[in-house]
Structure 1
Amino acid sequence: MQCQGRGRWFPSAWLLILGIFSLRETQEAHHRHVGQFTAVGTAHSFLELTGISFMDDVEVASYNNIQHKITIKIPWIPLALGVDYITQRQNVLVDHEQHFRWVVQYLAKNDTDSNRNHTGQLLADCEIDSDIKVKSHIHLIWDGEEYYRIYEEVGHWENLKPEVKKYQHILESPFWTDLRKQYMDKYCVDLMRKIVRYSMLRDNVPPEVTVSHHVSPEGISILSCTARGFYPQSILLRWEKNGKLGVWGKETSTGILPNVDSTFYLQVTLKLPPDDSELNYTCVVEHIELKTPAVYPVPEKPTMEKPWVLTLAIVLTCFLLLSCAGAFITWKKRKSNVHVMTER
C-alpha cells in the first residue's frame, strides 16, 4: 500500500512542479516595484532619511540624506534610465527631505519628551502586467504602527488609528494629493516600465551548472547544485534519485540572487541522512535557454570537508614563503657585503 501511495504521488508532484514552472514563465510580464522610505527624528531635529527601491524582490537602488546621493545596485540600471533621469530623481529626493522633516516634527510635537526619537515610514507599492498598471498602494507607518493606507484603485485614504483621524484632511489636500499621484505615476510605475523595457532587450543566458558532493567531519553527505550567470531569473532546480522526485533529506536554498552583471545565481543544497546510499542522485535544471530539462549527476567520489587540514596547509604555505623570502634577503645581504669587501 505504501509503495502504491508513493507511486501515485510522484506523477502528481511532477505535474505540480511543471505547472509552477509554466506559471513562472507566463508571469514574466508581471512586475512589482516597492519603494520604502524611513525617516527618523524628534520634535526639534531631523536625524536620518533612507530609501530603498526593490523590483521583483531585487534591490535596485538606495538613497540616504547624508550623501544626498542615489546608489545604484545593478550596473546596467543607468543604461536603462539614463544619467539625466537619475540626476533628476536624486534632486527630487533632496527636495522631498523637507517634506519628511516637516511630517516627523509635526507628528512628534505632541510628545512630552521632545528628545524622543520617532520613526516614520512610507511604503509605496505598484504592479504592472504587460506594461499596464494593475495595482498601486501606499502605507504610512509611525513608530511601527500603520496609521493610513490608500489603494489607488479606491482613491481615498483609509484611517487605521482613530486617534489620528484628525490628520486625514492634510493627506487629502490638493498639495499632498498631487505629490502622491506624481510619485506613484512617475517614479513607481514609469521607472519600472523603463527598467522592464530595457531588460527585455537583453539576450537570454543559460545557466552554468556545477554539482558537488561533500562529506562533513560528522559523516553527513552534502550535495550542492549551483546555477550561475543565467538570465532571465526564472529557473527551477530540483533533486531526483533514480530519476524520481521525493523528499530525500534536508534541502536549503540561497534563493535567486542578482549578480553584478545583471545575471542571476542560485544554489540548492541537500543534506542526506546517514543511512542514505548517496547513489544515483541528479540535479535537474529547467531554464528557458535550456529548451529541455538538463540532468547533472552527482560526482561518485565525495570530497571530505576537513577545515583544519586546509588551515594547516595555508599556515605551512605562508611559513614556507616567509622562510624563502628571509633566506633570499640574507643571501642578497651577504653577496652585497662580499662585493663591497672585494672592491676594497
Structure 2
Amino acid sequence: MGCKGKQRWFFLAWLLILEAFTWRETQAVHHRHVAQFTAVTTTHSLLELKEISFMDDIEVGSYSSIHEQIIVKIPWVSKAVGVDLITEMHNLFVEHEQHISWILQYFTKNGTNHNRNHTGQLLADCEIDNDIKVKSHIHLIWDGEEYCKIDEEVGHWENVKPDFKKYQHILESLYWTNIRKRYMNQYCVDLLRKIVGYSSLRDNLPPEVTTSRHVNPEGSIILSCTATGFYPRSILLHWEMDGKLGVWGKETSSGTLPNADSTFYLQVTLKLPPEDSGMGYICVEEHIELKIPAVYPGSCFIQVFSSHLCRSDLAIGFIYSPPMAVAILPDFELSSDLMDMPSMASSKSSQTMVALSD
C-alpha cells in the first residue's frame, strides 16, 4: 500500500472514531419523559383515571383511580425520588379526580347521548440534554382526536380543531398557565432528572445488524439493512456509496419500532434503478453502545461473505471503498506488512483491522 493510501486510511479511521465519540457523548446525556393520562367519563361521573409514565421508553410507574395506588415498576425508583414525593403525587391524583370529573362533564353536557362514554387524554413529554430542558409539549385529545397542543418553547396553545378555540382563553389564563408550567417542571423535568441521575433504567444493548440484497420482478435491486435488539432507541442507520452520503435510489425507513422485550428495531431499504448493479453500497450504523460507527456491505460482493445475507457477527465493522476494503474481525493474526495499520477495540472483545483486496 502506498504512502498516500495509508494516510487516507489513517485519516478515515480517525474521522470515524472522532465522529463516534462526539455522537456517543451527545446521546449519553439525552433523556425523555412521557406521561399519558387517560380519563373515561359519562355525563354524570368519572369512571376511571389512569396514568402511565415512560422514561427513555421504559415504563417506570402508573396510577389507577380504581385502586387509588401508584405502582412503581422499577424497585430502585422509589429510593431515587423518595417516599415523600410519591405520597405527594398520590395525593395529587386523588385530589384531581374530582377536578377532572367536573371538567369532562362540562365538555359532555351538550351531548345528545347521555349514556355514551367519552375518553379524554393528556399526553405530556419533556426532554433534557446534559441536565438542561430542551423540549416540552402537551397534547389534549378527546375521543381519539387531538384538539389542542402546546410547545412550551413557543408558549401558546395551537388549536388543531377549530371548535376548541372557544376554550383557548381558559388554557391561556394566568392561573392555568402557572399550573401547567409548575407541573411540567416539577413532575416531568425534575422527576426525570432525579431518576436518570440516580441510575441507568436498563443496560444498553448494541444492535444486531443484517444486510440483504435481492432483485424484484421489475429488475431493480433492493438493498435492506436491518438493526434490531438495541437500546436505547437513538440510532443512526443509512446507506452510503464510496464513503459519501447521497441518494441514488428510493430509500425508505420503517422508523424506529419497539420489540416485545423493550428493545428496538429499524430497517432501511434502498431501491436502485435497474441499470445500477448495487456494487459499492454500504450500510452505516451508529449507536451509543458501539465504540466506532459499524459499516456493513450492502451486498455480498466481498469473497469473505459468500451468501446474500451478511450478518453483524461475521464482520463487526466494515469499511468499503473500492478497490480496497477494511474489515474489523475478532482476533485476526496480522501479516507483517499490515502491522502499521491502526487497531480498533470493540467494547466486547479485541479486534483487528485487516485489508482485503477487491
Greater shift, 137-146 or 122-131, is seen at 137-146
Residues 81 and 195 in structure 1, CA contact (< 8 A), matched pair in contact too: no
**Cα–Cα, structure 1 residues 273 and 93, in superposed 2: closer, same or farther, change >3 Å?**
farther
Q: What whole-Å deviation, never above 9, does each CA across 1:53-108 have from its counterpart, x for those lacking one?
A: 4545x363666667777788xx8x44445698798667864664443223211332
1:239 equivalent in structure 2: 239
1:41 equivalent in structure 2: 41
2:282 equivalent in structure 1: 282
TM-score (norm 1): 0.58
Q: How many residue pairs get matched?
A: 278
In the TM superposition, residue 205 of structure 1 has moved relative to its aligned partner by 4.5
In the TM superposition, residue 237 of structure 1 has moved relative to its aligned partner by 2.1
Q: Aligned-pair RMSD on alpha carbons?
A: 4.8
**Cα–Cα, structure 1 residues 147 and 256, in superposed 2: closer, same or farther, change >3 Å?**
closer
Q: Given residue 39 of structure 2, which amino acid in structure 1 is its aligned partner?
A: A
1:330 equivalent in structure 2: none
1:193 equivalent in structure 2: 193
| 1:227 partnered with 2:227 | yes
Q: What SS does the corresponding residue of 1:122 show, helix, strand or coil?
A: strand
Residues 58 and 201 in structure 2, CA contact (< 8 A), matched pair in contact too: no
2:326 equivalent in structure 1: none
Residues 32 and 128 in structure 2, CA contact (< 8 A), matched pair in contact too: yes
Q: Given residue 222 of structure 1, which amino acid in structure 2 is its aligned partner?
A: I
Q: What SS does the corresponding residue of 2:275 show, helix, strand or coil?
A: coil
Question: For 1:102 and 1:81, how far apart are their aligned partners in 2?
Answer: 32
Residues 27 and 288 in structure 2, CA contact (< 8 A), matched pair in contact too: no
Residues 24 and 287 in structure 2, CA contact (< 8 A), matched pair in contact too: no
Question: For 2:149 and 2:255, how far apart are their aligned partners in 1?
Answer: 33
Residues 215 and 302 in structure 1, CA contact (< 8 A), matched pair in contact too: no
Q: What SS does the corresponding residue of 2:248 show, helix, strand or coil?
A: coil
**Cα–Cα, structure 1 residues 209 and 95, in superposed 2: closer, same or farther, change >3 Å?**
same
Question: For 1:152 and 1:272, how far apart are their aligned partners in 2?
Answer: 41
In the TM superposition, residue 127 of structure 1 has moved relative to its aligned partner by 3.3
Residues 28 and 288 in structure 2, CA contact (< 8 A), matched pair in contact too: no
**Cα–Cα, structure 1 residues 276 and 138, in superposed 2: closer, same or farther, change >3 Å?**
closer
Q: Given residue 299 of structure 1, which amino acid in structure 2 is its aligned partner?
A: C
1:299 equivalent in structure 2: 300
Residues 25 and 234 in structure 1, CA contact (< 8 A), matched pair in contact too: no
Q: What SS does the corresponding residue of 2:188 show, helix, strand or coil?
A: helix
Question: For 2:264 and 2:174, how far apart are their aligned partners in 1?
Answer: 40
Residues 140 and 149 in structure 1, CA contact (< 8 A), matched pair in contact too: no
Residues 33 and 127 in structure 1, CA contact (< 8 A), matched pair in contact too: yes
In the TM superposition, residue 239 of structure 1 has moved relative to its aligned partner by 1.8
**Cα–Cα, structure 1 residues 220 and 302, in superposed 2: closer, same or farther, change >3 Å?**
farther
Q: What whole-Å deviation, never above 9, does each CA across 1:104-156 have from its counterpart, x for those lacking one?
A: 113323445534554433233333332244565645555657468695997xx
Q: What SS does the corresponding residue of 2:122 show, helix, strand or coil?
A: strand
Q: Given residue 172 of structure 1, which amino acid in structure 2 is its aligned partner?
A: Y
Instruction: Please list every run of 5 or more consecutive structure 2 residues that lacks an aligned counterpart in the other structure.
Output: 1-14, 302-306, 310-358
Higher helix share goes to which structure?
1
- The 5 Å alignment of 1:311-330 reads none
In the TM superposition, residue 193 of structure 1 has moved relative to its aligned partner by 1.8
1:172 equivalent in structure 2: 175
Question: For 1:274 and 1:66, how far apart are their aligned partners in 2?
Answer: 60
